[in-house]
A and B are shown apart, each in its own frame.
Chain A
Amino acid sequence: MSEFLQHLINMLVLGGTYALLGIGLTLIFGIMNVVNFTHGVLYTFGAYVMFIVVHQLGVNFFVALPLAVVAGWLLGAAIELTLLRPLRGSDIDTTMLVMIGAWIAMQSGTLWIWGGVAKSVSTPFPEAPLVLGPVSVSWLRLFVLAAAALLIVVTYFLINRSKLGCAMRATFQDQDTASLMGVNVDLIYTSTFAIGSSLAAAAGALLGPVYVIFPQMGDLAAVKAFAIVILGGLGNITGAVIGGFILALAEELGAGYVSSGYRDAMGFLIIIAVLIFKPTGLFARSERVG
């Protein structure tokens, strides 16, 4: 039982960051119809920004975090402006392949600059974990969970309460009508991609210090994000949050009770199972997608 409780705690910590990844991807996928293969690179990027700012510039950990989010926002906006805006109107395969090209180039760039050796980011949190009866959790992980929850809430209000969010939702519903109603679709696209990217970078900046950082760390993160989006349904933010926690739970239980080698297979198995049995995602509205 205590083992199960421990898995639940771990699930919460992982799930929060997975939800961040999933929200970012589902926004981009849902609003722009772009399969964003650079999502994982943005995640890596966030982690490396933490490393650089904390270790090479000597800045405080808590200051570095928002910097990583802003840097992700800027990189996302740059990708959208240079690579996606000129291809507006092309088919989904073309943008997907361009994103694959950008992913390869950026990942190789990371590898070239910082090398393949894994790095760790030191944090101001104490080594000793917080022990609550039968379970224990490190202070860093608790902080990650709290920060992720905060970002999820902020994003939720941004999408559902702000003027920008309203325009984004309108564009998601019907781009042409939104455009006719005076929504600047170009601006919405760039903002969407930048917001999605900053969330991916935030996830990387939060999870990077928990594990180690290396150039290919984003690949698995990207696949997990895809799993979450498929699980939660295209463009569905609440679905992405729930999907993030479900994936985290599946991974924890898979690693705990099946074999730790198959932890990372859970995401893929979920993708395959969902697409076979319920292609519109678990929480899809009645409309057809895809």
Chain B
Amino acid sequence: MKLAVTILTIAALASFPLWLRDPYLMNALITTGIFIIGAMSLNLLLGFTGQLSLGHIAFFGIGAYVSALTSLGFDVGLPGGFRIVHEPWPPAVGFVLAIIVAGLCGYLVGLLSFRVRGAYFVIVTISFAEVVRLVALNWVELTQGPLALTNIPSITIGLPALGSLTLRTKLQNYYLVLAVAVATYVLISRLVHSHFGRAMRGLMENETLAVSVGIDVTKTLTLAAVISAGIAGAAGSLYAHYIRIIDPEVFAFINTVTMVIMVITGGKGSLAGPVVGGLIFGLLPVFLRPIMAPEAQWIAYGGVLIVILFVLPRGIVPSLAQRWAKWRSRPRAAGAVSFSERDVKENA
């Protein structure tokens, strides 16, 4: 059942470009897809470990900058008279490096900040993102500061028999983003259903009890942070090579908030939540643009976030799943999103 829905959804998403010819809409779909990948990575932390990272865009932006700089090359001086000169490498290498560097940053932030939780963790993550933004803005020799890194090359994929293919068109980029998004979904799904995922969930629900059965808090949360940051870095890399221009505004807090809105609306802790929330909030501007000023749209987003938290605090997907479960089997306890049940269905 679950598998059928997943396959149908992927098929529908894959068929979009066949009947949607509007380039503006295609563009919106691609950037939405990239943000959905970011939202999925945020959900891994927020929904499955309960840690609200409001600096998530830092990992996205670091991925974007690493990937852009890898493929553009740079020449910077360091204190002490050293210089680092880097010749341009292929964007695909940049993509991999983006994941690695963002993951390492996730490791550092996780290691340092999981000692503090709750509101403090939130504030540390915001601060981290802002510091990174200020570095990107002020380290002009490396990042061009507010002048932006321009002419970032498109991603080139080497195919075994067909030679290499540079993804220049929107159509090609759309399928690349879709492929990475599906891979991310599968990765997170496997992770949360593994014993790592159970450890995360245990910590979220009752930390004291979880550690008493041998779950290592720091290791588990740091692992989640590394994977989450790495995925966000991948999304940032896709963004850099698609948009082909990156400036420090990529680190704007509002971008994190966009991802948070996607996750909360769709349903945190639900695998499909960020996808549903992401599609809604990614595509809403397309439909609102003709009738509303951008500022008015943002007012609406703020309003929607508040309304969702008041009326559907668990998000769209879990609420629908609960109705569905109630409708299907009345005697059973509703709302139990259980690993076991989900797996049984998926393996069936």
A226 to B112, CA, bound (A): 18
Mark the stretch among A5-13, A16-24, A88-96 that contacts chain B.
A88-96
Judge whether B120 and A275 touch: CB under 8 Å.
yes
A132 contacts chain B at the CB level, 8 A cutoff:
no
Assuming the contacts A100-B257, A272-B127, A275-B116, asked whether A105 and B299 have C-beta atoms less than 8 A apart, the reply is: yes
How does the 8 Å CB contact mask read for A257-290 relative to B, with 1 for contact and 0 for none?
Answer: 0010110110111011001100100000000001
Assuming the contacts A83-B306, A101-B303, A112-B296, asked whether A268 and B120 have C-beta atoms less than 8 A apart, the reply is: no
Judge whether A272 and B295 touch: CB under 8 Å.
no
How does the 8 Å CB contact mask read for B275-300 relative to A, with 1 for contact and 0 for none?
Answer: 00000000000000000010111110
Q: Is the contact region of chain B dominated by helix, strand, or loop, or is it mixed?
A: helix
Give min CB distance, A55 to chain B, whole Å.
22
Judge whether B116 and A29 touch: CB under 8 Å.
no
A154 contacts chain B at the CB level, 8 A cutoff:
no
How does the 8 Å CB contact mask read for A212-227 relative to B, with 1 for contact and 0 for none?
Answer: 0000000100010011
Judge whether B302 and A97 touch: CB under 8 Å.
no
Which chain B residue shows the least CB distance to A82? B306
B28 contacts chain A at the CB level, 8 A cutoff:
no
Mark the stretch among B128-136, B148-156, B157-165, B333-341 that contacts chain A.
B128-136
A256 to B125, CA, bound (A): 27
Judge whether B264 and A97 touch: CB under 8 Å.
yes
Judge whether A262 and B130 touch: CB under 8 Å.
no
A103 contacts chain B at the CB level, 8 A cutoff:
yes
Partner of A268, one of B115, B127, B137, B257: B127
B-side interface residues, number (CB < 8 Å): 41
Judge whether A104 and B298 touch: CB under 8 Å.
yes
Chain B residues whose CB sits within 8 angstroms of the CB of A265 once the complex forms: 130-131, 134-135
A207 to B175, CA, bound (A): 50
A35 to B116, CA, bound (A): 15
Chain B residues whose CB sits within 8 angstroms of the CB of A227 once the complex forms: 127
Assuming the contacts A112-B295, A290-B116, asked whether A104 and B257 have C-beta atoms less than 8 A apart, the reply is: yes
Which chain A residue shows the least CB distance to B119? A35
Assuming the contacts A271-B127, A275-B113, asked whether A97 and B119 have C-beta atoms less than 8 A apart, the reply is: no
Which chain B residue shows the least CB distance to A29? B119
A98 contacts chain B at the CB level, 8 A cutoff:
yes
Give min CB distance, A196 to chain B, whole Å.
15
A92 to B50, CA, bound (A): 12
In the A-B complex, the 4 residue pairs with the smallest Cβ-Cβ separation, listed nearest first, are: A105-B302, A104-B302, A101-B305, A108-B298
Q: Chain A: residues with CB nearer than 8 A to chain B?
A: 29, 35, 83, 86-87, 90, 92-94, 96-98, 100-109, 111-112, 219, 223, 226-227, 230, 259, 261-262, 264-265, 267-269, 271-272, 275-276, 279, 290
Q: List 10 A-B contacts (CB under 8 A).
A: A97-B264, A108-B296, A112-B295, A230-B123, A268-B126, A268-B128, A268-B131, A272-B112, A275-B116, A290-B116
